[in-house]
């Protein structure tokens, strides 16, 4: 069970009203005539019969027992819907270590908002990634997006015009890699996890004044690019793609 928060107040209120009406119908609670307080206590057998009920509660319109049952049901449903976690796959720009290049790698994350209806794989691009190791030396975050302070998000995919954003206000080029390579690889990760509805959505971004010019050129290129084709590749990947294209052109796919 995870965190509560994906169910709106309006939804909760509507469900509560429906459940209260259903329980009223089942218990034939259609009047608001007064009944003796002792009888009210007996009807609501979840409580001691000897309880002294306030005068305002000694009515038959909405008995406490079905109301409490409805609230319990509602809370259970909202918790189950809003906070259930699961494993979600995303992509992250990794420190290639010995490879000497920024590499894009598929990773599996523990997603605490997997049932929110939002594309959580986008935000998980920037999740810290400290891999398990058989070394006794301390390890660090090898995700260059998070280490460089690049964050992605989609505020509401159900909106008429979804808002796809990148925040890089505190950008620092981590790992000794060129800043352009880090940003381009991060955008490649974004391209790979974009749902169909966001394929044509323009990415907007925020940055510091000193980073705005070079970032705006790369983001503009990303917005114009064909999202069905890679936006960033390592030299090895480019060479492999060129070789495959050459084989196809010559009629020898193998």
Instruction: Please report the pLDDT score of residue 20 as a whole number.
Output: 59
What one-character-per-residue DSSP string does the chain give?
A: -----SS-HHHHHHHHHHHHHHHHHHTT-----B--HHHHHHHSTTS-TT----GGG-BSSS-HHHHHHHHHHHHHHHHHHHH--EEEEEEEEEE-GGG-SEEEEEEEEEETTTTSSS-HHHHGGGS------S-SS-----BHHHHTT-EEEES-TTSSS--EEEEETT----TT--HHHHHHHHHHHHHHH--GGGTTPPEEEEE-HHHHHHHHHHHHHHHHS-TTS-S---HHHHHHHHHHHHHHHTT---
The pLDDT confidence band at residue 223, using thresholds 50, 70 and 90, is very high
Instruction: Please report the pLDDT score of residue 4 as a whole number.
Output: 41
Separation CA 186–CA 190 (nearest Å): 6
In percent, how much of the chain has pLDDT > 90? 36
Instruction: Please report the pLDDT score of residue 51 as a whole number.
Output: 47
Instruction: Please report the pLDDT score of residue 50 as a whole number.
Output: 44
Mean pLDDT of the chain: 76
Q: Tell me: the pLDDT tens digits for 86-109?
A: 788 999 999 877 678 899 999 998
- Check residues 158 and 153 and name the one with the higher pLDDT: 153
Across the range 229-233, mean pLDDT stands at: 94
Over the range 67-77, which residues count as b (16 or more CB within 10 Å of their CB) and which as e? beebeeebeee
Is residue 17 over pLDDT 80? no
Is residue 60 over pLDDT 50? no
The pLDDT confidence band at residue 1, using thresholds 50, 70 and 90, is very low
Q: What's the Rg (C-alpha) of the chain?
A: 28
Instruction: Please report the pLDDT score of residue 103 as a whole number.
Output: 94
Is residue 216 over pLDDT 90? yes
The pLDDT confidence band at residue 83, using thresholds 50, 70 and 90, is low
Read off the pTM.
0.63
Is residue 161 over pLDDT 70? yes
The pLDDT confidence band at residue 236, using thresholds 50, 70 and 90, is confident
**Sign of the alpha-carbon dihedral angle for 114, 117, 118, 121:** positive
- Check residues 227 and 11 and name the one with the higher pLDDT: 227
57 by Cβ neighbours in 10 Å (0-12 / 13-18 / 19+) ranks as middle
Q: Tell me: the pLDDT tens digits for 108-121?
A: 988 877 666 688 88
- Check residues 54 and 116 and name the one with the higher pLDDT: 116
Instruction: Please report the pLDDT score of residue 159 as a whole number.
Output: 76
Is residue 39 over pLDDT 70? no
Instruction: Count CB neighbours of 186 within 10 A.
Output: 31
């Amino acid at each position: 069970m995870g965190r509560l928060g994906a169910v709106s107040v309006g939804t909760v209120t509507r469900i509560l009203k429906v459940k209260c009406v259903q329980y009223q119908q089942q218990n034939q609670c259609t009047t608001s005539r007064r009944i003796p307080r002792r009888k009210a206590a007996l009807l609501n057998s979840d409580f001691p019969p000897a309880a002294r009920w306030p005068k305002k509660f000694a009515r038959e319109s909405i008995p406490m027992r079905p109301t409490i049952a409805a609230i319990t049901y509602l809370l259970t449903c909202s918790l189950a819907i809003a906070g259930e976690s699961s494993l979600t796959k995303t992509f992250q720009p990794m420190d290639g270590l010995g490879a000497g290049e920024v590499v894009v790698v598929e990773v599996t994350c523990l997603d605490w908002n997997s049932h929110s209806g939002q594309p959580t794989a986008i935000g998980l691009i920037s999740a810290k990634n400290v891999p398990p190791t058989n070394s006794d030396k301390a390890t660090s975050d090898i995700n260059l997006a998070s280490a460089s302070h690049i964050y992605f998000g989609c505020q509401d995919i159900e909106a008429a015009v979804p808002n796809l954003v990148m925040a890089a206000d505190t950008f620092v080029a981590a790992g000794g890699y060129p800043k352009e390579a880090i940003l381009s690889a991060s955008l490649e990760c974004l391209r790979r996890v974009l749902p169909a509805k966001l394929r044509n959505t323009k990415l907007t971004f925020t940055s510091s004044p000193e980073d705005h010019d070079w970032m705006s050129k790369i983001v503009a290129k990303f917005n114009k690019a064909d999202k069905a084709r890679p936006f960033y590749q390592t030299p090895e990947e480019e060479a492999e793609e060129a070789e495959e294209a050459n084989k196809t052109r010559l009629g020898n796919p193998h």
